[in-house]
Amino acid sequence: MSDGEIQPVGQEAQGLFGVSGSGDTSGFGGLVNQSPSAAPLVSTPAPLGEYFDEVVDSLQQLLGDDIARAVIVDRGELTIHVAPDRVADVCQSMRDDENLRFELCSSVSGVDYPEQANRLHVVYHLTSMTYRRRVRLETAVSLDHPVVASVTAVYPTADWQEREAYDMFGVVFEGHPHLTRILMPDDWEGYPQRKDYPLGGIAVEYKGAHIPPPDERRAYK
C-alpha cells in the first residue's frame, strides 16, 4: 500500500516480503542474514583481473607481502583487508605512489557484525582520479580494543566521517585531531548503529521538539 492510501476496513495490513499481522509492515524486521560472515576471510586466487593485480602487487612491493590480511574480488569490486594499525600507512602509499595515485577518500563508514570476534569493521572507499580506478579498504576491531589508526593526516576529508563512525559505532580513531561526537549529544550513552542497540523506548529532545521513541511514532491498523 502506498503512502496516502486508505486501509480498507477489516483488511489486514500487508508489507514488504509478505509480512502481515504485525506492526512492522516494512518487512525488514523479519529478514534473516544467510551470509557466512563469521567464516574466516579467504582471498580470491590470482589472477584477480582488471587492474586489481597491479594495485595489490604495487602495495605489497611498498609495504611487504603480508600487508593484506585478505584480498577479495566480488561482483567486480576489489576489497583489501588490512590490520587496524596499518590503515594509515596503507592509505599513505595508496595516495602517494605513482603507480597507485588514489587521491580521493570518498567515504569512511562503520559496519557491525555481532557474530564475529572483531565485530566492528571500518570501510574506506578510495578513488584514483589519475587512473580512474576504485578500491575498498577494510579493517576490523573488537569491542575490547576498538582502535584504528586515523587517516585524517592523509585524507582530510576523513575528519567528520571518522567522527561519525566513532559516534555511531564506538570505533576510536587513534591520531584524530578532535574525536568527538558529531550527531548525538556529547553525553549520549551507547552507539546507535550497533546491531544490539535498542530501537525503542528512548525519547529525544531535538531543537526544542519532543520526538517520541520509535515504537510510539506510528501504528499500522
CA distances from 136 to 4, 29, 181, 217 (A): 41, 29, 25, 37
For residue 124, the cross-strand partners are 108, 137
Q: What is the DSSP letter of 28?
A: G
Q: Which domains does the chain have, with CATH numbers?
A: 45-216 (3.30.460.80)
Cβ–Cβ < 8 Å for 149, 172: no
Strands 172-174 and 204-206: unpaired
| Other C-beta atoms lying within 10 Å of the C-beta of residue 36 | 8
Cα separation of 46 and 36, whole Å?
Answer: 22
Q: What is the pLDDT of residues 75-98, one digit of tens each?
A: 999 999 999 999 999 999 999 999
Distance linking the first and last C-alpha atoms of the chain: 12
The whole-model pTM stands at 0.76
Which of the four pLDDT bands, split at 50, 70 and 90, describes residue 45?
confident
* Beta-carbon-side half-sphere exposure of residue 64 (alpha carbons within 13 Å): 7
Higher pLDDT, 28 or 172: 172
CA pair distance 146, 131, nearest whole angstrom: 34
Are 121 and 139 in contact by the 8 Å Cβ rule? The answer is yes
Integer Cα distance of 151 and 147 in angstroms: 13
Confidence band, pLDDT 50/70/90 cuts, at residue 6: very low
**Residue 149, phi then psi, degrees to nearest 5:** -65, 130
Q: Rounded mean pLDDT of 118-145?
A: 96
pLDDT exceeds cutoff 60 at 26: no
Quick one: what percent of the chain has pLDDT higher than 90?
A: 62
Retrieve residue 219's grid coordinates.
501504528
Q: Give the whole-angstrom CA distance, residue 8 versus residue 221.
A: 10
In this structure, of 13-17, 48-52, 156-160, the range with the lowest mean pLDDT score is 13-17
Determine which helix (DSSP H) or strand (DSSP E) holds 115, and give its type and residue range: none
Is the pLDDT score of 20 beyond 60? yes
Query: Of the segments 47-51, 151-155, 195-199, which one has the largest average pLDDT value?
Result: 151-155
Q: What does the mean pLDDT of the chain come to?
A: 84
Q: What is the pLDDT of residue 33?
A: 57
Dump pLDDT digits (tens) for 96-105: 999 999 999 9
